[in-house]
Amino acid sequence: MADAERPQIYLSTPAAFDAEVFAPRLARVLDGAEIACLRLSLATRDEDEIARAADALREICHARDIALVIEKHVLLVERLGLDGVHLMDGSRSVRKVRKDLGNDAIIGAFCGTTRHEGMTAGDAGADYIAFGPVGPTPLDDGSQAEHELFAWWSEMIEVPVVAEGALTAARVAQLAPVTDFFGIGDEIWGTDDPLAALNELLAPLG
């Protein structure tokens, strides 16, 4: 439940990357900022490529006691020694995945802008709910997760909530009192200095 404490940072990887190039960039960010969790968000469906990336990132994350979850690929969680999965289909598969992976696995659910979907996912056993995007974007239908959604959630629901997608420093300032995590990815990885970009994005947190 969001309160006066500073929200934690939840990083996502780029949709495509060379593990050898990305690993040191990631390590620098993890060493320079307090990160709660990393999400492996590769767009590829090449199992070998995903496994190679997971092996590289798992070593970096676990050496720093940072959880590593994978987007969508439930069957790879145990096989690759990961901490959990981030589901992209709202509440639809949460209950089954919880049964399959057990109580120790981290299970998150992206629920777009839908309060009801988030509540259903939480009731089904999700460890956190992600809403977004929180800023303007030309993708999908352009809808946004508004401040009111996070304010209501933080007041009424105990399941932790993640604000992600199209974040800016201004949106960080607005949402900080009503979210538990900021989900950050594309906002920093496309820059020359991801750590500097992250610090600039989070400047309103003090």
pLDDT digits (tens, 9 = 90+) for 103-140: 999 999 999 999 999 999 999 999 999 999 999 887 77
CB 180 within 8 A of CB 161: yes
Which residue reads 């709910």 in tokens?
129
Instruction: Answer yes or no: is 161 within a domain.
Output: yes
Q: Which pTM does this prediction carry?
A: 0.96
Instruction: Answer yes or no: is 25 within a domain.
Output: yes
CB 144 within 8 A of CB 113: yes
Q: What percent of the chain has pLDDT over 90?
A: 93
CB 134 within 8 A of CB 175: yes
- For residue 17, how many other CB atoms are within 10 A of its CB? 18
Instruction: Answer yes or no: is 205 within a domain.
Output: no
Q: What is the mean pLDDT of residues 137-144?
A: 79
Q: Using CA atoms, how far apart are residues 156 and 124, in angstroms rounded to an integer?
A: 17
Q: Using CA atoms, how far apart are residues 102 and 83, in angstroms rounded to an integer?
A: 11
Total domains present in the chain: 1
Instruction: Answer yes or no: is 1 within a domain.
Output: no
If pLDDT is split at 50, 70 and 90, which confidence band does 2 have? Answer: very low
Instruction: Answer yes or no: is 3 within a domain.
Output: no
Half-sphere exposure of 205 (CA within 13 A, CB side): 24
Segments forming the whole domain that contains residue 24: 8-200
Instruction: Answer yes or no: is 206 within a domain.
Output: no
Token pair of 170 as six digits: 């201004």
The CATH number linked to 168 is 3.20.20.70
- Pairing type for strands 8-12 and 181-184 reads parallel
**β-strand partners of 71:** 86
pLDDT digits (tens, 9 = 90+) for 161-180: 999 999 999 999 999 999 99
Instruction: Answer yes or no: is 2 within a domain.
Output: no
**β-strand partners of 106:** 84
